Amino acid sequence: MEGGFVAVSRRKVTAEAIEQIVSRIASGEYVPGQKLPSERELSETLAVSRPTLREVILALGTLGVLETRHGRGTYISSLGSEVLALPLALILEVNREALHDLIQIRLLLEVGAAEAAAHNISDEALARLGATRLRAARSIDDIEAFVDEDIAFHRVIHEASNNRMLLALMDSLSAVGRKSRLLTARRREVRESTLREHEAIHQALARHDQAAATAMKEHLSHVALALESQDS
């Protein structure tokens, strides 16, 4: 079959057509920036009507997976972390409780990232951690700048885990998690404790000590408590 697609059944045709396109992207058959076959070719290959295909393209376009360029066709988007994060961002916009779930996800993933980074982190990455800590300290009275440095600090650790999938997941979470960070960073005492906790994580990583994972767990547990206090 052309392009690796197969005709879909009439039942749930829109969902099945979406699934087939997404699976081709996930497999690498279609890559970011690549143009999809024409509307006529796709509708024939998938055995769906053109109106149904337009629904599929519209749905994937809304999610940022596809990009329709007037007069030029439909293309795979960049699929950056902001695109991957879009469904999560929508959830967080309508459900404040999801912020608490997000912190729990961070606990599950970032403790493991710190543990892996303790084995793998380079001197260059350690220097970058030190630089972000210094900038955060200098920005303690500027919440927006402080949060940016907080995100940068954690990202260095994600990179040092040497796990590309974890890095992609954490980039997506960071893209939506800025909202929770801005909430918890409102209080100066929280920003000050963050600086101290980042220092403990940094020192453990510099020793290549598994205590980095414990320090990360304590840090994120305090973040969770700070978020809860915003609701009280």
Do 64 and 174 fall within a single domain?
no
Q: Could you give the CA distance from residue 49 to residue 42 in angstroms, rounded to a whole number? A: 10
Q: CA-to-CA distance for 122 and 56, rounded, in angstroms?
A: 45
Same domain? For 126 and 69 the reply is no
| Per-residue pLDDT, 141 | 96
pLDDT of residue 91: 47
Both 55 and 94 in one domain: the answer is no
45 & 153 share domain: no
Average the pLDDT over 35-50 and give the result.
89
pLDDT band (50, 70, 90) for residue 103: confident
pLDDT higher than 80, residue 82: no
The DSSP secondary structure of 82-100, one letter per residue, reads HHHTHHHHHHHHH-THHHH
- Is there a single domain that holds both residue 43 and residue 143? no
Greater model confidence, 11 or 188: 188
pLDDT for 1 = 46
Same domain, 197 and 106: yes
For residue 2, the tally of other CB atoms under 10 A from its CB is 9
The last residue of a domain, from among 79, 106, 135 = 79
From CA 214, how far away is CA 115, in angstroms rounded?
A: 9
- Closest alpha carbon to 64 in 46, 85, 44: 85
Domain residues for the domain of 28 are: 2-79
If pLDDT is split at 50, 70 and 90, which confidence band does 80 have?
A: low
Q: pLDDT at position 45, please?
A: 86
Determine contact, residues 125/160, Cβ cutoff 8 Å. yes
C-alpha pair distances (Å), 201 with each of 103, 151, 154, 171: 18, 14, 10, 20
92 lies in the same domain as 134: yes
From 45, 79, 113, the end of a domain falls on 79
Q: For residue 75, give the CATH number of its domain.
A: 1.10.10.10
The domain boundary residue, chosen from 54, 79, 104: 79
Mean pLDDT of the region 59-68: 79
Distance CA 47, CA 99 (A): 41
- Judge whether residue 93 has pLDDT over 60: no
Distance (Å, whole) CA 221 – CA 72: 50
The number of domains in the chain is 2
The DSSP call for residue 223 is H
Q: What is the pLDDT of residues 114-159, one digit of tens each?
A: 999 999 999 999 999 999 999 999 999 999 999 999 999 999 999 9
- What is the per-residue pLDDT across 161-196, written as a single tens digit (0 to 9) for each? 999 888 888 887 776 677 778 888 999 999 999 999
Asked whether residue 61 carries a pLDDT value surpassing 50, the answer given is: yes
CATH number at residue 167: 1.20.120.530
Residue 36 makes CB contacts below 8 A (sequence gap 6+) with 21, 30, 42, 66, 73, 74, 75, 76
**Does 203 lie in the same domain as 100?**
yes
Same domain membership, residue 88 and residue 71: no
Closest CA to 158 of 143, 168, 148, 147: 168
Q: How far is CA 67 from CA 16, 58, 83, 171, in A?
A: 20, 9, 12, 22
pLDDT of residue 150: 96
**Residue pair 209/100 in contact by the 8 Å Cβ criterion:** no
Question: What predicted TM-score, i.e. pTM, was given to this entire model?
Answer: 0.64
Residue 228 pLDDT > 70: yes
Query: Is residue 91 within 8 Å of 56, Cβ to Cβ?
Result: no
The answer to whether residue 9 scores a pLDDT higher than 60 is no
